[in-house]
Chains A and B, each alone.
Chain A
Amino acid sequence: MGPGSRPPAVLWAPAGLLLAFLLAPLLALVLVLEPAQLLAHLRSDVALRALLLTLRTTLVSTAACVVLGLPLAWLLARREFRGKAVVDTLVDLPITIPPVVAGVGLLLAFGRRGLLGRHLEVAGLSIPFTTAAVVMAQVFIASPFFVRAARAGLAAVNPRLEMASRTLGAGPWRTFLTVTVPLAGPQLLAGTLLAWARALSEFGATMMFAGNFPGRTQTLTLAVMTAMESDLDTAVAVSVLSLALGAGALVGARLLAHRVGVGHA
């Protein structure tokens, strides 16, 4: 079957079923509250503090993913080294392990009695229950999304263009910043947005490692969990807000990916 030919009608039935299934909970979330109610609940103290904390922490964690992830992505895209397959698998691992398990692991490593945490504790640093713990949980869970996208973007840059730049006298850093990064730019940005979206929706690792305290570690997802117990409408309102942020990030990433497609065509 060539591209453009009509797909058999039989495919539409299961495809439609899946689409309807994916759409139903989202519609239910959006439709359950009147817009005015929704706004009123979003102005509540719980929602505002959770939103501010989430924006602050995800901004820092996404920046960390980019700053620490870009060199790793470059090494994976451009260099052959021993154990590369292991590193590759390691980078993807956080995607496949349950976030709650990641949170238990972070506690075992950085908790006050953890592998590294007990030494930090001696130095007067305690990470659990702090906003820093929220950021660490987000970086752990979200960084693979950036590294994967950045790696693909960097690998797609034609090395001859970089060589041309070097031949014209530009140093390796200048070449990287003025040739490689702009060429891979849309992919890098898309990866950044995906990592941000994943950090936004982080729940399990944050709850385990950072705990739940308004204004300090209670992000939007933890606020939803807490509000579910006492104030369902606020829980729904905060859920809709998270949904909107996540959808925004995804649309942004898709538009950027589309630009890549056009650029290569």
Chain B
Amino acid sequence: VRNLAACLLAVLLPTTLRADEVLRVLAIPSLHEPLAEVAQVLERTRPGHRVRVEAVPGPELRARSERPHAADVVASDLVQDGLPVFARSAMAVVVPARRPIVTELAHLGRPNTRVAMAATAVPAGRTTARLLQRMDESGRFGAQFKLRVLVNVVSEEMEARAVLARVADGDADAGLVYAADAAWAGRDVQVLAIPPELDVPAGFAIVVPPTATRPGLAHDFVELVQGPEGQAILQRHGFGRP
């Protein structure tokens, strides 16, 4: 619940700065911390400029970034044709740190296990579905693994971080999230890693919308994210190279 509340606060905090004074970066919650750090780097190297990184749930981010002049940079897990991928993350299974009933991947398919995942309508959910398919085809987790896991799903969230919160609060027995999210959650959850040969890594794309009000600074921000300094920050937060 602490995590849910934190997500809420991040979304609800009023925006008080005037739009023309700041570079406005919209990012899905999974990308918020590393991009906020990149923003600090940019502010240090460019005195007088402010960068505001806002954590916005995916659905709202996509709706908002379609409006003209709504953002200078948009970073999310929706990778469309032609968008540059600036980071990747493996998928991971998280379970509550206290008294987990799922202690290995095969347990995801056991009856009466409460599994949270992202809805297949959002990118995280589509990646999750592909991962389950691969795990199923590997034959290592028993017959009809994917079907058995899907039967166990109790909630389809609109955001990987929301899945994480369900597990951290102990309401779900296991959740499928980005490994980078799992690294962020800290002590509330334990991570069950996906074997590398089965993993379906998720990509994250960054784009400067055509109606950005500060395109110059926006492109500087994107370059910084893609450059060695930005990549180092992303790796510290559990993301991999593109």
Contacts and interface: CB of A to CB of B under 8 A. Distances in A.
Contacts of A228: 59, 63
B190 to A, nearest CB: 16
Interface residues of A, number: 25
Interface stretch (A2-10, A209-217, A255-263): A209-217
Given A104-B4, A211-B116, A225-B59, A111 B169 contact: yes
A100 B8 CA distance: 9
A229 B119 contact: yes
A126 B156 CA distance: 18
Given A104-B5, A129-B114, A211-B116, A112 B156 contact: no
Interface string B52-69: 000000110011000000
Contacts, number: 66
A107 interface: yes
B10 interface: no
A137 B85 CA distance: 40
Nearest to B122: A229
B88 interface: no
Contacts of B154: 128-129, 211, 213, 216
Contacts of A214: 156
B171 A212 contact: no
A208 interface: yes
A225 B172 CA distance: 21
Contact of A111 (B58, B155, B171): B171
Given A113-B170, A211-B116, A107 B156 contact: no
A228 to B, nearest CB: 6
A230 B4 contact: no
A226 B157 contact: no
Given A107-B171, A113-B170, A230-B121, A213 B155 contact: yes
Contacts of B121: 226-227, 229-230
A176 to B, nearest CB: 42
Contacts of A211: 116, 154-157, 166
A128 B170 CA distance: 11
B174 to A, nearest CB: 13
Contacts of A30: none
Nearest to B171: A128
Given A112-B171, A113-B170, A229-B122, A212 B157 contact: yes
Interface in A81-126: 100-101, 104, 107-108, 111-113, 126
B79 to A, nearest CB: 15
B147 interface: no
A227 B59 CA distance: 10
A226 B156 contact: yes
A212 B122 CA distance: 13
B222 interface: no
A154 to B, nearest CB: 38
Given A113-B170, A128-B171, A129-B114, A212 B1 contact: no
Interface of B: 1, 4-5, 8, 58-59, 62-63, 114, 116, 119-122, 153-158, 166, 169-172
11 contacts: A104-B5, A104-B8, A108-B1, A129-B114, A211-B155, A212-B155, A213-B155, A213-B156, A225-B158, A229-B58, A229-B158
Interface of A: 100-101, 104, 107-108, 111-113, 126, 128-129, 208, 211-214, 216-218, 225-230
Given A217-B155, A229-B59, A230-B121, 15 more contacts: A101-B8, A104-B8, A111-B1, A111-B169, A111-B170, A112-B171, A113-B169, A211-B156, A211-B157, A212-B156, A225-B59, A225-B158, A226-B158, A229-B62, A229-B122
